[in-house]
Amino acid sequence: MVNLAAVIKKPAETEEMDLIDQAVRFINERVAETYIRTSIEIGEYILTYFFNDDIELASSKNPRKSKSYQLLCKRGDLQVHHSTLTIMVRVAVQERLFKQENIDTSRLSYSHRAELIKITDPAEKISLAQLCIDQQLSTRALKALLSKRSKKSEGIQELNSGELSKHYLDSIDHLFKVIKLPSQHMDFGVLKNLDTKIRHDMLDKTEQLIDVLTFVQDHLSNMKSMLLEADREYPVEYTEA
């Protein structure tokens, strides 16, 4: 028998829960707003003082070619990873475009903006930003749309489910085989005695690998979420032969 007293909340309890819900929404919104504002401010600062407002240079896929910016990214006491800093710069450049075109970006999350920087064509970028705003697209929906457009533009044929799963599993197996780091190179005594040029080359390669692994981690996290969701919605019952 259902205990109604446990199910039905008292007026005071309901008011308290409403208050907590409102507080959570308020705090989350303010944190998001602060992060967006701060990230754009940092991006603008870098754009102004390290790229001399050269939008083309800052928007390039390798903005670290700026000598001073490269030195900044290598500072050990910098609390922002260089890949995150690069995104901030490109988002700041993008914000200038949106402002110029009178696009109200207040309903775009930072994740939306970080996805939109992948679009190089200004007209397409504006169109997609407006689509996100008008249709309230989630970041996941935007990612899917960008992925679909990318495949279409590159002429990549869609794979059927069997081909796709085999391709995915083969890619994971290949990744495990390729990434083999020699443990002795992790020893500080070895690293400090290396030639400076070699050490800097290793540093660059390490940073590039971090970027690749960050991308792979995001991709695998999305894949894991989709697999778990598919498992919940479409469970398969296995029977013994």
Residue 189, H or E segment = helix 188-192
The tens digit of pLDDT for each residue in 77-98 reads 888 888 888 899 999 999 999 9
Inside any domain, residue 72: no
197 belongs to a structural domain: yes
Structure tokens at 192: 């400090």
What pTM was estimated for this model as a whole? 0.54
Q: What is the mean pLDDT of the chain?
A: 77
Q: How confident is the model at residue 2 (pLDDT cuts 50, 70, 90)?
A: very low
Tell me the per-residue pLDDT of 19-43, one tens digit each, with 9 for 90 and over. 888 888 888 888 778 888 999 999 9
Backbone angles phi, psi at 81, to 5 degrees: -65, 145
Domain contains 109 = no
Task: Identify whether 10 is part of a domain.
Answer: no
The answer to whether residue 144 sits within a structural domain is no
Q: Is residue 71 part of a domain?
A: no
- Count the domains in the chain: 1
Whether residue 201 is predicted with pLDDT greater than 90 in this model: the reply is no
Note whether residue 171 is domain-resident.
Answer: yes
Q: What is the pLDDT of residues 119-137, one digit of tens each?
A: 888 989 999 999 999 888 8
Domain range for 202: 159-241
User: Within 10 Å of residue 63's Cβ, how many Cβ atoms?
Assistant: 23
Cβ 216 vs Cβ 174: under 8 Å: no
* Backbone conformation region of residue 136, classed left if phi is above 0, alpha if psi is from -120 to 50, else beta: left
- Classify residue 33: in a domain, yes or no: no
DSSP letter (8 states) at residue 9 = P
